Amino acid sequence: YLKKNLGNIEDLIQAGASLENLSKRQKNCLETIKKVYEQQQSMWENKTQSVPQRIVSLTQPHIRPIVRGKAGKPIEFGAKLSVSCVDNYVFLDKISWENFNESCHLKEQVEKYKETFGYYPESVHVDKIYRTRENRNWCKERGIRISGPKLGRPPKNVSEEEKKQAHSDECFRNAIEGKFGQAKRRFSLNLVMTKLPETSITSIAITFLVVNLSKLLRQFLSLFLSLFTNNRTKELIKPPFINFDYTLNNFYVLKLIDLSENSWSKVAQILEKLFPQTLIRVSLSG
């Protein structure tokens, strides 16, 4: 029936009919229906159940089915992301509507890290799919430790130090999983309502931007509170979650401030003029 209807439309066009009265959405939908028919016809003739760039939605033809193998949801639909987490800040490295192998982009992500910070990371904490022989050799040549067990048969005897290191690496890697959970629960990453591929990519990128801004806001609050913390008396003890030097170093590493201008000393001088009764201690390293 679909072949017959499409044939009738082609006959009308050859007889002099025009599609100018159709809206842009109707024209796009008609072209999508033609592609769906061609894909279904190809699978039926070749007796296969898959086809490259398979269309599963008439209103969103750019969406592809992605086999995940999860319990209850073996196949998912939507954009596939490749992100990295540095000091609890998320970097969106790759986003695509096509299914791709994440392990092929590890080198590119590490090179972006070096381009941003000027040096290679000491260690890379990745999922099992990234721990290929090629990636391991590439990281070893550059002095980068990659998390996870070695390839091959697992050893019979594992030292306590190796077990402790493996547990520490796995706990450290959970930070990126937590960022995905935070983006989905608090910032509606799993409720993207846009239809076009451009607007959907923009919405996803803005979500991770807000995640980073929330982290930055908490650090600024900790830095501000640490300015009013008095360490010289036992009556007022600095809370363990507020560390001025640690927060300041994070801002410097992420290039949020420039310590060469001694900007925080200027801030301290202004605050001393405004609050002469308050003791403000500013320590700059490097």
- Tell whether 26 and 160 lie within a shared domain: no
Domain span at 23: 1-46
Is residue 125 situated within a structural domain? yes
pLDDT (tens place) for every residue of the chain, 286 residues total: 888 999 998 898 888 888 888 888 888 899 999 999 999 999 999 998 888 888 888 888 988 888 877 777 788 888 888 888 888 889 888 888 888 888 888 889 999 888 888 889 888 988 888 888 898 999 989 898 888 887 778 777 777 887 888 888 888 888 888 888 889 899 988 888 888 889 999 999 999 999 999 988 888 888 777 766 655 444 444 444 445 565 556 655 555 445 455 555 555 555 555 555 444 444 433 3
Which contacts qualify for 199-202: CB closer than 8 Å, 24 or more apart? 200/79, 201/79, 201/95
Is residue 144 situated within a structural domain? yes
Is residue 248 situated within a structural domain? no
- How many domains does the chain contain in total? 2
- Tell whether 103 and 205 lie within a shared domain: yes
- Tell whether 170 and 131 lie within a shared domain: yes
- Tell whether 74 and 42 lie within a shared domain: no
Is residue 131 situated within a structural domain? yes
pTM of the model: 0.69
CATH for 204: 3.30.420.10
- Tell whether 29 and 89 lie within a shared domain: no
Burial of 195 (0-12, 13-18, 19+ CB in 10 A): exposed
The CA distance from 31 to 150, in Å, is: 50
- Tell whether 167 and 25 lie within a shared domain: no
- Tell whether 118 and 28 lie within a shared domain: no
The CA distance from 233 to 194, in Å, is: 56
Calculate the alpha carbon distances from 221 to 140, 216, 232, 244, 247 in Å: 39, 9, 22, 11, 10
- Tell whether 68 and 39 lie within a shared domain: no
